[in-house]
Amino acid sequence: MTVFKNENWIKKKLASAKQAVSKIQLQRLTGRMKSMLSKVDRIPNEREAESDTNLQIEAGSKKRPFAKERMQSTLDSIRQAAWPKELYAKARYYRMQLATGAGALGIATVVTLGGSQYVQMNTVEVFHVYLENQEVGVVSDPQVVDDFKLAKVKEIEQKYPDVHMVLNTDEVTLKSEKAFKAKSDDQGTLDKLSGMLKSHAVGVQLIVDGQPVGILKDADTAEGLFDEIKSKYASGKAKDAGKVMVLSAAQPKELQAGESEMQKVEFVQKVELKPIDIDPSAVQKTEDLAQKLETGDIQPTKYTVAKGDCVSCIAKKFNISKQVIYQNNPWIVDDMIKVGQQIDLTVLQPALSVRTVEKIVENQEIQYETEYVQDDTVRAGITETINEGKNGLKKVTFNVTKVNGLMMEEELLSEEVIQEPVKAKIRRGTKVIKGEGTGKFSWPVISARLSSGYGSRWGKLHKGVDLTSGNKSIMAADNGKVVYAGFKSDYGNHIIIDHMNGYRTLYGHLSKIDVSVGKIVEKGDKIGTMGSTGDSTGVHLHFEIQKGTTPENPSKYLNF
């Protein structure tokens, strides 16, 4: 399209054309020019120029933008030349010839073929409008139909704000026709088309694990609902978990102790959205569907605490998790429940469950170890601290997977020791002295009965206790070493054991002595037999406990 090279070129053509035609022909041409100029007696503004262009090149062509582009350069060159309106009109006229297919011959040809030019001048392009291949009418300009379609869609959107309505405007097609004095009827065609257009509602069906669960207005509404459900289990930044994840993949962020980062927020179930044609009344309220998705249409279950119930007992009885009981009944503290209280045991069965994976970084204490150092210079049973132990610290990174906020899995990712623990060192005595007493006395006779207690008796001190029993065996009251085993008039046959811890015990009036001096005995060893030797009135054991050389009341050491 470089026909309009410049003004001079046109002028030259016109001049040569004038010379070539007869006066009459020239008059006819001039007349026609004049009539044309009267039609376009304005310098078209941009908009008009454009639509004019469209009209020229759109006929039967779907390559409108492309053709428009090509024409644009031509229009621009016209505008740039800033021709007087007369010339512009001429040029425009000439362009029409080109566009309709005859123009390639040039203006000289047009002029010489003035007769056929008349027909072409009166050739009008019109557009037949079809709906589903049925002709509706004829319009003058495709724009008329485009505008109508837009207005119609807007109108139906206003009428059904909650439902996504679709008009079958896609089935409207146009066919151009160029005919001599062709007629069009814009309004009539649009009126008729308006009555023929059909609207229907479309929605998206929400399918969870293959099961249809509801219908929403559109995908945007569904996505909004999904975000809302997910956000309940994802804190703040987690809503953008997808973004966060992408960021951290490219540029790993070092989390500090006490920080966490949502790695994933996703549905456990497979969720699909399927566009479907629907009855406008089938669209569900987002809130209703949200509730259904989150609770699963479950009726609440209440339980009254009975005697003997406990939280874990109830959980076991109903085969539910203790965590559910705590979640539903936040008033339960320290597992305290009372008979008659009502407990909510509703277990929700959400159609949609949200799985979150959160990376958590925590500082954890490392328990110190204790090392024992055996020391045979210290008596057995005695310990002393050499070094105090100190707990260490480690930074632990782990992933916590939760479903609907309930912990499912914890995965340790890494551990980094910040501070090593300090081992405790403890000295433990191992020294065992043979015959050394434990410091605790046991009964020297089994099933002993006290026949006479410690204290003053008949004007003098009774230095021990008198014990009788059906069992005559006498046993060492503690570990020790026999320091006396023999007979004296008052105690008769008797034994004295030194426990080597400051204490001695004396066993008197024995009928038989089983040990000799120097013998090491252990607590409970049989050392002799009960008797009535010495200054005695009947078979019994006279038993003394001496601290140093002073007799003590044995009831201080033995439980009478």
CB 402 within 8 A of CB 425: no
- Piece of the chain touching Zn ion by CB under 5 A; list 100-108, 339-347, 362-370, 539-547: 539-547
Between 142 and 534, name the residue whose CB sits nearer to Zn ion.
534
Q: Which of 125, 261, 436, 466 is in the footprint of Zn ion by CB under 5 A?
A: 466
- Piece of the chain touching Zn ion by CB under 5 A; list 305-313, 315-323, 337-345, 459-467: 459-467
Between 494 and 542, name the residue whose CB sits nearer to Zn ion.
542
CB 289 within 8 A of CB 216: yes
What binding mask, one character per residue, do residues 241-260 give for Zn ion by CB under 5 A, x or -?
Answer: --------------------
Between 268 and 539, name the residue whose CB sits nearer to Zn ion.
539
Number of shown-chain residues binding Zn ion (CB under 5 A): 2
Q: Which of residues 167-186 bind Zn ion (CB under 5 A)?
A: none
Residue with nearest beta carbon to Zn ion: 542
Between 140 and 532, name the residue whose CB sits nearer to Zn ion.
532
Kindly report the CA angle at 204 between 203 and 210, in degrees rounded to 5? 145
> Least Å distance between CB 491 and Zn ion?
9
- Piece of the chain touching Zn ion by CB under 5 A; list 67-75, 261-269, 491-499, 537-545: 537-545
Token readout for 483 is 């320091």
How many other CB atoms are there within 10 angstroms of residue 441's CB atom? 20
- Piece of the chain touching Zn ion by CB under 5 A; list 125-133, 175-183, 401-409, 466-474: 466-474
Q: Which residue has the tokens 């439980």?
A: 559
CB 233 within 8 A of CB 402: yes
Between 389 and 453, name the residue whose CB sits nearer to Zn ion.
453
CB 424 within 8 A of CB 383: no
> Least Å distance between CB 478 and Zn ion?
20
Between 164 and 509, name the residue whose CB sits nearer to Zn ion.
509
Token readout for 451 is 């026949």
Between 164 and 542, name the residue whose CB sits nearer to Zn ion.
542
Q: How far apart are CA 108 and CA 119, in angstroms?
A: 17
How many other CB atoms are there within 10 angstroms of residue 445's CB atom? 21
Between 141 and 466, name the residue whose CB sits nearer to Zn ion.
466
Nearest to 328 by CA among 395, 393, 405: 405
- Piece of the chain touching Zn ion by CB under 5 A; list 230-238, 280-288, 359-367, 536-544: 536-544
> Least Å distance between CB 507 and Zn ion?
11
> Least Å distance between CB 506 and Zn ion?
10
Q: How far apart are CA 410 and CA 360, in angstroms?
A: 10
Q: How far apart are CA 207 and CA 225, in angstroms?
A: 14
- Piece of the chain touching Zn ion by CB under 5 A; list 264-272, 315-323, 335-343, 460-468: 460-468
Nearest to 440 by CA among 501, 382, 381: 501
Between 439 and 486, name the residue whose CB sits nearer to Zn ion.
486
**Which uninterrupted H or E stretch holds 266?**
strand 260-267
Q: How far apart are CA 16 and CA 11, in angstroms?
A: 9
What binding mask, one character per residue, do residues 348-367 give for Zn ion by CB under 5 A, x or -?
Answer: --------------------
> Least Å distance between CB 515 and Zn ion?
21
Q: Which of 90, 230, 394, 542 is in the footprint of Zn ion by CB under 5 A?
A: 542
> Least Å distance between CB 500 and Zn ion?
25
The strand pairing partners of 199, in sequence order, are: 167
> Least Å distance between CB 427 and Zn ion?
45
Number of helical (H) and strand (E) elements in the chain, helices listed first? 14, 29
Q: DSSP of 30-72, one letter per residue?
A: HHHHHHHHHHT-S---HHHHHHHHHHHHHTT-S-HHHHHHHHH
Q: At what angle are helices 219-231 and 286-295 packed, to 10 degrees?
A: 50
Q: How far apart are CA 347 and CA 332, in angstroms?
A: 17
Between 233 and 454, name the residue whose CB sits nearer to Zn ion.
454
Phi, psi of 267 (to 5 degrees): -85, 145
Between 261 and 466, name the residue whose CB sits nearer to Zn ion.
466
Q: How far apart are CA 338 and CA 481, in angstroms?
A: 62
> Least Å distance between CB 540 and Zn ion?
7
Q: Which of residues 289-348 bind Zn ion (CB under 5 A)?
A: none
Q: DSSP of 397-415, one letter per residue?
A: EEEEEEETTEEEEEEEEEE
Three-state DSSP state, 77: helix
Q: Which of residues 93-152 bind Zn ion (CB under 5 A)?
A: none
Q: How far apart are CA 213 and CA 273, in angstroms?
A: 11
Between 125 and 466, name the residue whose CB sits nearer to Zn ion.
466
> Least Å distance between CB 461 and Zn ion?
11
**Which uninterrupted H or E stretch holds 361?**
strand 354-366
> Least Å distance between CB 452 and Zn ion?
6
Q: What is the DSSP letter of 256?
A: P
Q: How far apart are CA 272 and CA 285, in angstroms?
A: 18
Q: How far apart are CA 457 and CA 459, in angstroms?
A: 5
Between 176 and 536, name the residue whose CB sits nearer to Zn ion.
536
- Piece of the chain touching Zn ion by CB under 5 A; list 330-338, 383-391, 511-519, 541-549: 541-549
Q: How far apart are CA 300 and CA 268, in angstroms?
A: 24
> Least Å distance between CB 484 and Zn ion?
17
> Least Å distance between CB 456 and Zn ion?
13
> Least Å distance between CB 504 and Zn ion?
16
Between 504 and 542, name the residue whose CB sits nearer to Zn ion.
542
Determine if 494 is a binding residue for Zn ion (CB under 5 A): no
> Least Å distance between CB 459 and Zn ion?
15
| Interface contacts to Zn ion, rule CB under 5 A | 466, 542
